[in-house]
Chains A and B, each alone.
Chain A
Amino acid sequence: MDTKNQFSFQFIFVMLLYLIIVILSVMIISLGKNIYDRINKDRNTNYELRVSLSYIANKIRQSDRDEAVEITELNGVDAVLINELFDDEKYQTWIYFYDGAIYEMFTDADTAFELSDGMKVVDADDFNIEKVRDDLYKFTAVNNEKSSDLYLSLYSKAAGHE
């Protein structure tokens, strides 16, 4: 009878250990999944915020000369307008927010186009341009309820460069 009891106790103990292994396995897999999800979400948000603002900053710095960069309105939305000259022909690059993304449109000067004609650059929940001073603008990008600001100084509009 004692041996039987010992056997059943050991059997229950072994099964208990198996159960612990299974529970811990599920916990570790679940924890790993949660951490991976958070990392992925953060990475996407980080990428989209950084790319949207860095893209605009680089575009502006690239063309910031001789009044080439303007902050203006396009069909009621804030837009960056970059005027360029190639082979004596005037071209314009428009960067604006439309339908949950930042778009870019390269076109002949003064050619009319729809907001949907542009090329999608990066997803964003919102994008705003605020004029702080004549030569200083604040760009705000919002993604996954997280917003990021970038101030940009237009050297071509600063006093002494005109």
Chain B
Amino acid sequence: MNKVALNSKVSLVEIILSVLIFATAGIIMLSCFGIARFTQIRANDKTEAGMIIQSDFEVIKSLKSTVEMHEFLDESYEEKEPGNIYTKYYDENWKQGSDRDYSVTIVIDQENTRSGDLVKINISAEREKPYPFINKGSREIYSIESRKFFPYGGSHE
């Protein structure tokens, strides 16, 4: 009977060890699942942010004066800060509304010349909270910088 008890103890230690190994492997696997999931979410965010930013750029490029541009920004963007900074917010499904999971910010730097206004435009999209499992540091998802010249005659660049 003593022999049986000894064998049982040895097998118990083995089982506990295997449970520990299994738990370690499980934690690593869960971490990998988390990384995969949030990498995919970041890829989707990049697509959505890219579409929004490109669309806003297309609209601005089609406008004929800085007055029209500021009208468009006042209508489309929720917040306006001094210094020509406009921000609008999106929820987790990229629907513009009350939730603030993502933000799109446009910074306008206007330079007046004799023949027209040269506007430097920077649009960037950010996630309010950093992505879990992905240690990338920056919360920026997508960013474009460009320039648009609005001649005083009203015609296009």
Instruction: List the interface of chain A (C-beta within 8 A of B).
Output: 3, 6-7, 10-11, 13-14, 17-18, 20-21, 24-25, 28, 31-32, 35-36, 38-39, 42-43, 46, 49-50, 53, 57, 133, 135-136, 148-153, 155, 158-161
Contact = CB atoms under 8 A, between A and B. Distances in A.
A158 B156 contact: yes
Interface in B42-61: 43-44, 47-48, 51, 54-56, 58-59, 61
29 contacts: A7-B4, A10-B12, A14-B8, A20-B19, A21-B18, A21-B19, A24-B23, A24-B26, A28-B26, A28-B29, A31-B30, A32-B29, A35-B37, A42-B44, A43-B43, A133-B62, A136-B59, A136-B62, A148-B48, A148-B51, A149-B55, A150-B51, A151-B54, A151-B56, A151-B59, A155-B61, A159-B154, A160-B155, A161-B156
A6 B36 CA distance: 46
Given A11-B8, A24-B22, A39-B36, A149 B51 contact: yes
B5 interface: yes
Given A14-B15, A150-B51, A159 B155 contact: yes
Contact of A159 (B9, B15, B64): B64
B28 to A, nearest CB: 11
A46 B19 contact: no
Given A7-B8, A32-B33, A53 B51 contact: yes
Interface residues on B, range: 35 or more
Interface of B: 1-2, 4-5, 8-9, 11-12, 15-16, 18-19, 22-23, 26, 29-30, 33, 36-37, 40-41, 43-44, 47-48, 51, 54-56, 58-59, 61-62, 64, 154-156
Contacts of A133: 62
Contacts of B22: 21, 24-25
Contacts, number: 95
Interface centre among B36, B61, B62 (most CB of A within 10 A): B62
